[in-house]
Amino acid sequence: MDYKNLSKWSYINPGKDVKQEYNIRYNNPTTIKTGLFINPVLRGERLSDVRELFVIPIQEILTLQDAIMQNSKKITELRNTLPRIASDQLFNYTLLTEIKSTNDIEDVKTTSEEITEAITNVKNKSRKKTRLNSFVKMYWKINDGENLKISKLEDIREIYDFLLEGEISNDDFPDGKLFRNSFTRIGNDFTTHHVPKINEEDTSIDLMSWIKFVNGNTPFLIKALVSHYFFEYVHPFKDGNGRTGRYIACVYLGYKLDPLTAITLSSEINKNRSKYYKSFLDVENPRNYGEATFFVIDMMKILIKGQKSLLKDLEEKRDMLSYGENLIASYARTDIEKVLLFLHFQSYLFNDYGYGIEDRDLKEYTKEFKNTQVRRTLDELTQEGALELTKKSPKTRRLSVEWFDKLLQN
């Protein structure tokens, strides 16, 4: 018989003692006991019962874990075959989609233009103040393989403050010393799904347990996913919990797997919102006794969906890159045109939302040509419609849509 959650198990085994089955699972030698405790939720109300979250690393989890690791390896290998501009623009585009998605999940309005502007500012280390600058800076660290060090409650608040700088209204700012110290509810206008603890002291106790867990020895994928669940369950802030929780999960996954797998998380969650929310509710169901095994499975499947989509896109664009390079070689009238058009082709192919490439960034790729020759050729290609000017300062261009489509039709 397939392994079922306890609520389903009791349904298909009428007359059998579900508490006995729970004890068998909970006391299994392979069971991972997290030290994280929840109050099950019934019809939006927190019950007085207390259950420890536990996970049994069944065969399905081990199989999914192996698939995630193999996919991550393929993604890294494929990205490493790309020219640098293509690789950088791939990250920028994936990051744009991730930030747009993590905000969409919370119904926070964000435009692609705002995110692109913030990415450009962070890349250039600009001091210009624009919306989402801090948000992008935090995510940018994932590409550098940076890991978070969370050892005290203040670290959580510091992440929250920097990540969501300018994104939280005064009314929704934490009203306790570090966290929320007031009533909040999770749900919609018609249904309450969860009412977290009200008192900041209780929240802080739960978060100290969370910190101990994230710094423990639980296998990293199970740890990342269970800790994501528990952070959302605790709900330490009045606003921004989802964005903060997903960011922390992304950083950890990026450090252990690869940056692109990590920053597809919110995008894939956004495509599977109903499954995502149902997975949370299933853990809190009193009839499941705190088992998080199936939450881990559901989240692993979401992660794999994102990886497969990314791999498919990467493979297709890698093939188009070679195809485009050959077309440009036959189209270009001079060597300098060939180089510049191919650089801009890479940029557009992997990030058609972006501004393109700044003229000054082309220097390291065009060292065999004089600067005056490069500038003159860029201007000629712009006048002819192959390139379009997207920013005047610093001067930035990208391949025009019309020229890109025309090239691929040849």
Binding residues: 239-246, 276-277, 285
Q: What residue numbers bound the domain in which 338 lies?
A: 332-409
Q: Is residue 325 part of a domain?
A: no
Q: Distance between CA 186 and CA 191 in Å, rounded?
A: 9
One domain for residues 220 and 347: no
Q: Is residue 225 part of a domain?
A: yes
Q: Distance between CA 323 and CA 332 in Å, rounded?
A: 14
pTM of the model: 0.94
Q: Is residue 89 part of a domain?
A: yes
The predicted pLDDT at position 10 comes to: 94
Vertex 256: Cα angle to 251 and 257 (nearest 5): 95
Rounded alpha-carbon distances, angstroms, from residue 382 to 85, 122, 153, 296, 396: 20, 26, 53, 51, 11
Q: Is residue 316 part of a domain?
A: no
One domain for residues 99 and 185: yes
**Low-confidence residues of the chain, pLDDT below 50?**
none
pLDDT per position as a tens digit, 132-183? 999 999 999 999 888 999 999 999 999 999 999 999 999 999 999 999 999 9
Q: Is residue 29 part of a domain?
A: yes
One domain for residues 29 and 139: yes
The predicted pLDDT at position 1 comes to: 54
**Which amino acids are annotated catalytic?**
235
Supply the CATH number for residue 402's domain. 1.10.10.10
Mean pLDDT of the chain: 94
One domain for residues 352 and 303: no
| Residue 45, SS3 per DSSP | strand
One domain for residues 300 and 363: no
Last-in-domain residue among 308, 341, 359: 308
Q: Is residue 42 part of a domain?
A: yes
Q: Is residue 326 part of a domain?
A: no
Q: Distance between CA 398 and CA 401 in Å, rounded?
A: 9
Q: Distance between CA 166 and CA 210 in Å, rounded?
A: 27
Supply the CATH number for residue 234's domain. 1.10.3290.10
One domain for residues 186 and 286: yes
Q: Distance between CA 339 and CA 320 in Å, rounded?
A: 17
One domain for residues 265 and 374: no
The predicted pLDDT at position 45 comes to: 86
- Angle formed by the axes of helices 293-331 and 84-105, to 10°? 140
Q: Distance between CA 3 and CA 62 in Å, rounded?
A: 14
Q: Is residue 134 part of a domain?
A: yes
Binding residues for ATP: 239-246, 276-277, 285
- Give the rounded distance of the alpha carbon of 402 from its chain centre: 32
One domain for residues 293 and 337: no
| Residue 194, SS3 per DSSP | strand
The predicted pLDDT at position 103 comes to: 93
Residue 395 bridge partners (DSSP): 392
- Please give the tally of structural domains in the chain: 2
What is the gyration radius of the CA atoms in the chain, in angstroms? 25
